[in-house]
Each structure stands twice: as structure tokens, then as C-alpha cells.
């Protein structure tokens, strides 16, 4: 349903537009209107998006449903074996389609393309953000917390969550794999039983004249 593409600087106006559609809505009951306005400029002004992509190593991906942009995610390498999940947001209409999970998986995929060896991904998430449950479902764990100044007297009151990518498990695929193993086990058992019954009936027919039933395995 969704196609996820890596963004270029030509997509910066689109990222800005998406952010205005989703960020204020996400934080309207958590942050003040003034802080939201400040953070929108700090993170999503056209100038700062250019700086992120051209100087700071941010990699953005945009999800599309046909030709309509539905969400975005960005990652950045912080150290040799450490990456940061900078942003992940889905337009409210598309949140019911589990696009957040697809974007999260795209972040993992993007990191693995850059760094195939085991590494760690961390993210900052507001301590009152309902998305905490989503990140925990995706395998992330709280590792620390803090109040981080971002200028103009404002703070990010965040948990830092972490995920070791070398042990990342796609829970849906794990369930499918287990189901497949069980299915083949059941089919194998049914075939074994059928074979035993067939041999039993064959032996029974062969032994009719003697009145004895001989079953050899």
C-alpha cells in the first residue's frame, strides 16, 4: 500500500508541510503553543532542514500512498556504532494503517545499509508522549532520561530509548515463522499417520487368509 523513498533536498518543502500537519497536533496537549512554534522553527524551517541534510548527516525517508505523502522518518549516525532515530511521524489519517511500524522498519533498514555490523539505535521521546507504548512494542527500552535545554528557556523532557539492531526482531514475521513451523509439523504428522494406516490396511488384507495381523515398521 505504501511506498517509502529516501528524500532529497528537493523534498524539503514537502517535509516542512508534513511537519506542520502532524507535529503541532501530536504535542498540542503536551507542550505550550509557544514552545511548539519555537520547535517547529528549530527543527523544521526550510533553512534548518537544509542544514540537517547537507551538513549534519540526517537522512529522511518519506512514505507515499499512491502520490500522497503520508509520513516520514529520519536517522542520523552519531558515532561509529551509534545511530539516532531523529523523527518519525505519520499523518493522523494514516495512523490506522500501521504506517508507523513500516517507517520504523525503514529506519532499521537504512541503518543496516550504512552499518551492516551490530550497532545501536537510540531516540528521544517526550515522557508524556503516548507513542511510548509503540516504541516499546517495537522492542525499544528506556535507558535513561533527562531534561535537555533547546534554547529560549525551553526544555525537552525526554526518555532516551535504545535498541540493539543486531538482535532486532520483527514480531509479525516471528509469528508468521512460528505459524509456518507449526503448520509443517501438523502436515508432517498427518502424513505419518496416513502412512501408518495405509501400511496397517495393506498388512490386514495380506493376512486375511491366516487370520493374523502382522505390522512391521
Res 193: pLDDT: 46
- Which pLDDT value is given to residue 95? 92
Q: CA–CA separation, 165 vs 83, rounded Å?
A: 10
Residue 168 has pLDDT above 90, yes or no: no
- Concatenating the DSSP letter of every residue in 114-159 gives H--S--EEEEEEETT-TTHHHHHHTT-EEEEEEEEEEETTEEEEEE
Q: Tell me: the pLDDT tens digits for 98-157?
A: 999 999 999 999 999 999 999 999 999 999 999 999 999 999 999 999 999 999 999 999
Grid cell, residue 146, equals 533527562
pTM of the model: 0.77
Rounded Cα distance, 201 and 196, in Å: 9
Average pLDDT, the chain: 85
156 within 8 A of 186, measured Cβ to Cβ:
no
Which is it for strands 59-65 and 154-164: parallel, antiparallel or unpaired?
unpaired
**Pairwise CA distance, residues 37 & 52, whole Å:** 19
* Res. 191: pLDDT tops 70: no
Residue 126, all three cell numbers: 517526550
State how far Cα 129 lies from the chain centre.
17
H-assigned helices in the chain:
12-27, 33-44, 46-54, 99-114, 132-137, 171-206
Amino acid at each position: 500500500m505504501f511506498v517509502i523513498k529516501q528524500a532529497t533536498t528537493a523534498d524539503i518543502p514537502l517535509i516542512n508541510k508534513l511537519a506542520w500537519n502532524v507535529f503541532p497536533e501530536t504535542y498540542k496537549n503536551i507542550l505550550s503553543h509557544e514552545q511548539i512554534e519555537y520547535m517547529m522553527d528549530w527543527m523544521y524551517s526550510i533553512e534548518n532542514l537544509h542544514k540537517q541534510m547537507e551538513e549534519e548527516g540526517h537522512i529522511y525517508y518519506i512514505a507515499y500512498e499512491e502520490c500522497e505523502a503520508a509520513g516520514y522518518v529520519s536517522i542520523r549516525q552519531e558515532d561509529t556504532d551509534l545511530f539516532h532515530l531523529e523523527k518519525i511521524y505519520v499523518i493522523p489519517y494514516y495512523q490506522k494503517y500501521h504506517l508507523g511500524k513500516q517507517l520504523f522498519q525503514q529506519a532499521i533498514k537504512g541503518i543496516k545499509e550504512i552499518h551492516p555490523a551490530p550497532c545501536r539505535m537510540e531516540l528521544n521521546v517526550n515522557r508524556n508522549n503516548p507513542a511510548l507504548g509503540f516504541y516499546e512494542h517495537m522492542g525499544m527500552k528506556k535507558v535513561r532520561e533527562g531534561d535537555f535545554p533547546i534554547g529560549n528557556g525551553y526544555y525537552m523532557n525526554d526518555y532516551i530509548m535504545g535498541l540493539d539492531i543486531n538482535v532486532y526482531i520483527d514480531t509479525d514475521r516471528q509469528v508468521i515463522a512460528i505459524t509456518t513451523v507449526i503448520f509443517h509439523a501438523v502436515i508432517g504428522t498427518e502424513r505419518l499417520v496416513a502412512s501408518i494406516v495405509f501400511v496397517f490396511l495393506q498388512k490386514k488384507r495380506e493376512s486375511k487368509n491366516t487370520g493374523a495381523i502382522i505390522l512391521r515398521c
